[in-house]
């Protein structure tokens, strides 16, 4: 398991039954009661046989991380940066009085270049005006699939619940199909494809659009000779924009935008400068996290566990890249590192009796509970206890709220979910898919990460902390996507070293399906769970939880699909992860321009 297997639930068996049913409320699964997992914490004198994860040593050394520096961290580019930002704002003000399609195209480019966070108020005003007129059949979008799809995607991305009926002019109700003449409009088809992933359950027009456009785009890729267009289409088919990790998408799109004939040089230079400036902030956050990890001693003392400081930090950039989120990244890297370590204690190294003791110690949240633990668990427990208490102290000092009980509950739930999986493994119990997922969306650690994230990025209230304690749907569906994506990328590796069956194997056991069919089904569940996550955003409408938190929940799901796109990018250190770390955190983008001295 790991950050990829970080799960959550409160048991024992009676609560397992309760959670199975709670998960299946308006859900995808049929519950079945589990009743044959037993426990018992008996310490025995026989030699304990330890498993091994066969993890490789870390790719990124502490000394290398501390050596990172950037010319964009200083004052040398500040003048040019502010000048460009002012010029972009001038362009925005001009466009505000232009036709709506130009406004939407400009917003889309700002978002994909990663610079829209500088102009949130202006963008919100433009989109609010667009939304008020969205049901009018204006000339700029009349029979224009591209314009209609762009409007739909941007409005839904920003929490406006624009109806799917906007696509009625292109859809034949009698045959429940789209007009095949749309095949002549590549851009429109590509944008309709991207828009379809912002659907919610029951939106059949958008579901039809997804299959209709995918089929067309796959055929286009095989027949077209335009290499640039094929590269863009292939990129979209690999993962839709709505599911992509924002910072990686920015890095990719800057290169694409630079090759466009209608490229705006002001936007391009500003995007490159901003990327490098933000990267320099990420490097400082990374150095802080690496120093903390070195001081903790966990990497050296617990040699059986994954030493993945860089990967744990990389997750935080995927979930929140913005410069003002430095505290979030620094603290969440600590959370991720503790999760990865404790996951390996449960998953690889600990005996069942030892794990019972550790789970009990976490429940008590008392340093005195350490005395019963074996030595390797003592340092792990104290690192957890001290780190989380310090985060709680900082929340009390800086935000005036005592959150310790809520942070503690997240860790108790996580360890209980790990404990259940350990029992399953040691008793050779094979859960059904329903039983597995009811525990696994918690054991994947999504709830723990997001409860902490809420404290780090908002001004938390006791009312919201109480509701988060029950893991609201936004947390549940984000965590479920994290779990399913993790299983698709890691289940083979984990079964080889000894682990409970994952969702793929559970589905195969339940139905007798082949592995390929099971993988297709898990992919289908990811798609369906995204619809649920989309719906929670529209229902919340930023009135309950602020957008800064909602984006973290969505980005956690996106980051999971990034990290496990080619396998276990977290635990096994695949080349794709190394390349992505280099492009986002190590190598600045070349800027061919003069700057202000």
H-state helical runs in 259-325: 265-296, 298-301, 309-319
Burial 368-378 (b: 16+ CB within 10 A, else e): ebbeebeebbb
| Distance in angstroms (rounded) separating the CA atoms of residues 551 and 158 | 10
DSSP-derived letter for residue 159 is T
Residue 77 exposure: Cα atoms within 13 Å on the Cβ side = 21
506 contact partners, CB below 8 Å, separation of at least 6: 430, 431, 432, 433, 436, 437
Is residue 588 within 8 A of residue 279, CB to CB? The reply is yes
* Helix-helix angle 433-443:13-23, to 10 degrees: 100
The answer as to whether 50 is a domain residue is no
What the block records as the tokens of 170 is 């292109």
The answer as to whether 238 is a domain residue is yes
* Helix-helix angle 120-132:100-112, to 10 degrees: 140
SS3 at position 172:
strand
What distance lies between CA 320 and its chain's CA centroid?
9
Rounded alpha-carbon distances, angstroms, from residue 383 to 55, 290, 297, 393, 453: 22, 15, 9, 15, 19
Q: Could you tell me if 339 and 483 lie in one domain?
A: yes
The count of other CB atoms within 10 Å of the CB of residue 174 is: 5
Question: pLDDT tens digits for 366-403?
Answer: 999 999 999 999 999 999 999 999 999 999 999 999 99
* CATH number, domain containing residue 168: 1.50.10.130
Give the sign of the dihedral formed by CA 571, CA 572, CA 576, CA 579: positive
The answer as to whether 538 is a domain residue is yes
What distance lies between CA 408 and its chain's CA centroid?
22
Q: Structural domain of residue 174, as residue ranges?
A: 87-270
- What are the two backbone dihedrals, phi and then psi, of residue 97, each rounded to the nearest 5 degrees? -105, 10
The answer as to whether 326 is a domain residue is yes
Is residue 351 within 8 A of residue 48, CB to CB? The reply is yes
Is residue 527 within 8 A of residue 200, CB to CB? The reply is no
The count of other CB atoms within 10 Å of the CB of residue 232 is: 16
What distance lies between CA 297 and its chain's CA centroid?
28
| Distance in angstroms (rounded) separating the CA atoms of residues 532 and 122 | 29
- Tell which residue, 207, 209, 299, 267, has the closest CA to residue 528: 207
The answer as to whether 359 is a domain residue is yes
Is residue 522 within 8 A of residue 488, CB to CB? The reply is yes
| Distance in angstroms (rounded) separating the CA atoms of residues 149 and 200 | 16
At residue 51, the pLDDT reads: 63
The count of other CB atoms within 10 Å of the CB of residue 252 is: 16
At residue 172, the pLDDT reads: 83
What the block records as the tokens of 596 is 């202000």
- Tell which residue, 453, 296, 460, has the closest CA to residue 387: 296
Domain boundary among 219, 235, 270: 270
At residue 50, the pLDDT reads: 66
- Tell which residue, 119, 113, 114, 120, has the closest CA to residue 90: 119
Q: Could you tell me if 496 and 513 lie in one domain?
A: yes
Q: Could you tell me if 206 and 174 lie in one domain?
A: yes
| Distance in angstroms (rounded) separating the CA atoms of residues 384 and 560 | 24
The answer as to whether 15 is a domain residue is no
- What are the two backbone dihedrals, phi and then psi, of residue 48, each rounded to the nearest 5 degrees? -90, 125
At residue 180, the pLDDT reads: 81
| DSSP one-letter string for 555-569 | HHHHHHHHHTTTS-T
Domain boundary among 224, 249, 270: 270
- What are the two backbone dihedrals, phi and then psi, of residue 262, each rounded to the nearest 5 degrees? -100, 25
Q: Could you tell me if 246 and 315 lie in one domain?
A: no
The answer as to whether 548 is a domain residue is yes
Q: Could you tell me if 513 and 374 lie in one domain?
A: yes
Q: Could you tell me if 147 and 280 lie in one domain?
A: no
What the block records as the tokens of 362 is 């976490």
What distance lies between CA 381 and its chain's CA centroid?
27
Q: Where are the beta strands (DSSP E) in 407-538?
A: 444
Residue with tokens 């929340």: 395
* CATH number, domain containing residue 302: 1.10.600.10
| Distance in angstroms (rounded) separating the CA atoms of residues 533 and 520 | 20
- Tell which residue, 423, 452, 428, has the closest CA to residue 439: 423
Domain boundary among 215, 244, 270: 270
End-to-end CA distance of the chain: 50
What the block records as the tokens of 479 is 């965590």
Q: Could you tell me if 257 and 399 lie in one domain?
A: no
- What are the two backbone dihedrals, phi and then psi, of residue 158, each rounded to the nearest 5 degrees? -100, 20
Q: Could you tell me if 335 and 233 lie in one domain?
A: no
At residue 225, the pLDDT reads: 86
SS3 at position 105:
helix
Q: Could you tell me if 233 and 360 lie in one domain?
A: no
The answer as to whether 135 is a domain residue is yes
The count of other CB atoms within 10 Å of the CB of residue 48 is: 12
The count of other CB atoms within 10 Å of the CB of residue 475 is: 28
Residues in the chain: 597
Q: Could you tell me if 367 and 412 lie in one domain?
A: yes
Q: Could you tell me if 235 and 173 lie in one domain?
A: yes
From first to last of its 597 residues, the chain has per-residue pLDDT tens of 443 333 333 333 333 323 332 334 334 433 333 333 333 333 444 567 666 556 777 888 999 999 999 999 888 899 999 999 999 999 999 998 878 999 999 999 999 999 999 999 999 999 999 998 876 667 667 789 999 999 999 999 998 989 999 998 898 877 778 888 888 889 999 999 999 999 999 999 999 999 999 999 999 999 998 888 999 999 999 999 999 999 999 999 999 999 999 999 999 999 999 999 999 999 999 999 999 999 999 999 998 888 999 999 999 999 999 999 999 999 999 999 999 999 999 998 999 999 999 999 999 999 999 999 999 999 999 999 999 999 999 999 999 999 999 999 999 999 999 999 999 999 999 999 999 999 999 999 999 999 999 999 999 999 999 999 889 999 999 999 999 999 998 756 555 555 688 999 999 999 999 999 999 999 999 999 999 999 998 887 666 889 999 999 999 999 999 888 765 444 444 678 889 999 999 999 998 754 443
| DSSP one-letter string for 121-133 | HHHHHHHHHHHHT
Q: Could you tell me if 217 and 123 lie in one domain?
A: yes
Model's pTM, two decimal places?
0.88
Rounded alpha-carbon distances, angstroms, from residue 396 to 358, 400, 402, 404, 443: 27, 5, 5, 9, 28
Total count of domains within the chain: 2
395 contact partners, CB below 8 Å, separation of at least 6: 401, 402, 403, 455, 460
């Amino acid at each position: 398991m790991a950050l990829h297997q970080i799960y959550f639930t409160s048991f024992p068996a009676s609560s397992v039954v309760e959670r199975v049913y709670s998960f299946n409320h308006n859900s995808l699964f049929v519950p079945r009661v589990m009743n044959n997992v037993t426990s018992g914490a008996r310490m025995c004198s026989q030699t304990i046989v330890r498993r091994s994860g066969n993890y490789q040593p870390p790719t990124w050394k502490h000394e290398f991380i501390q050596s990172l520096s950037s010319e964009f961290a200083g004052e040398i580019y500040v003048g040019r940066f502010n000048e460009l930002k002012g010029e972009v704002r001038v362009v925005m003000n001009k466009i505000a009085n232009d036709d709506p399609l130009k406004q939407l195209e400009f917003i889309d480019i700002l978002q994909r270049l990663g610079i829209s966070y500088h102009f949130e108020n202006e963008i919100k005003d433009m989109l609010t005006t667009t939304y008020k007129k969205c049901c009018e059949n204006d000339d700029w979008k009349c029979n224009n699939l591209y314009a209609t799809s762009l409007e739909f995607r941007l409005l839904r991305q920003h929490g406006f619940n624009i109806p799917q009926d906007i696509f009625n002019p292109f859809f034949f109700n009698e045959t429940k199909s789209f007009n095949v003449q749309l095949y002549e409009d590549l851009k429109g088809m590509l944008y309709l494809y991207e828009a379809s992933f912002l659907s919610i359950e029951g939106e059949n027009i958008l579901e039809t659009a997804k299959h209709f456009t995918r089929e067309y785009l796959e055929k286009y890729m095989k027949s077209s000779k335009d290499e640039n267009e094929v590269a863009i289409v292939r990129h979209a088919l690999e993962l839709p924009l709505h599911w992509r990790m924002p910072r990686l998408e920015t890095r990719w799109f800057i290169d694409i935008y630079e090759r466009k004939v209608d490229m705006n040089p002001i936007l391009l230079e500003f995007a490159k400068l901003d990327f490098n400036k933000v990267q320099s902030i990420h490097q400082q956050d990374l150095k802080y996290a690496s120093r903390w990890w070195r001081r903790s001693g966990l990497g050296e003392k617990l040699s059986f566990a994954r030493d993945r400081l860089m990967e744990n930090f990389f997750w935080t950039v995927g979930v929140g890249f913005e410069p003002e989120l430095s505290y979030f990244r620094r603290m969440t890297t600590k959370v991720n590192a503790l999760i990865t370590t404790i996951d390996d204690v449960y998953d690889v190294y600990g005996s069942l009796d030892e794990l019972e003791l550790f789970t009990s110690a976490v429940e008590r949240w008392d340093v005195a509970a350490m005395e019963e633990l074996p030595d390797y668990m003592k340092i792990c427990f104290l690192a957890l206890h001290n780190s989380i208490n310090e985060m709680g102290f900082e929340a009390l000092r800086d935000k005036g709220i005592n959150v310790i009980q809520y942070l503690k509950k997240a860790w108790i739930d996580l360890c209980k979910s790990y404990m259940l999986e350990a029992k399953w493994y040691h008793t050779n119990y094979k859960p059904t898919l329903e039983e597995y997922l009811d525990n696994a969306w918690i054991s994947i650690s999504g709830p723990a990460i997001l409860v902490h994230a809420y404290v780090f990025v908002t001004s938390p209230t006791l009312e919201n902390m109480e509701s988060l304690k029950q893991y609201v749907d936004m947390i549940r569906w984000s965590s479920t996507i994290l779990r399913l994506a993790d299983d698709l990328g890691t289940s083979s590796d984990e079964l080889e070293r000894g682990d409970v069956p994952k969702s793929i194997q559970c589905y195969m056991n339940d139905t007798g399906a082949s592995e390929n069919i099971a993988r297709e089904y898990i992919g289908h569940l990811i798609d369906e769970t995204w619809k649920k996550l989309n719906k929670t955003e529209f229902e919340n409408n930023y009135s309950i939880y602020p957008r800064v938190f909602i984006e973290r929940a969505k980005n956690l799901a996106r980051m999971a699909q990034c990290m496990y796109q080619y396998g276990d990018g977290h635990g096994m250190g695949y080349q794709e992860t190394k390349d992505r770390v280099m492009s986002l955190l190590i190598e600045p983008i070349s800027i061919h321009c003069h700057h202000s001295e």
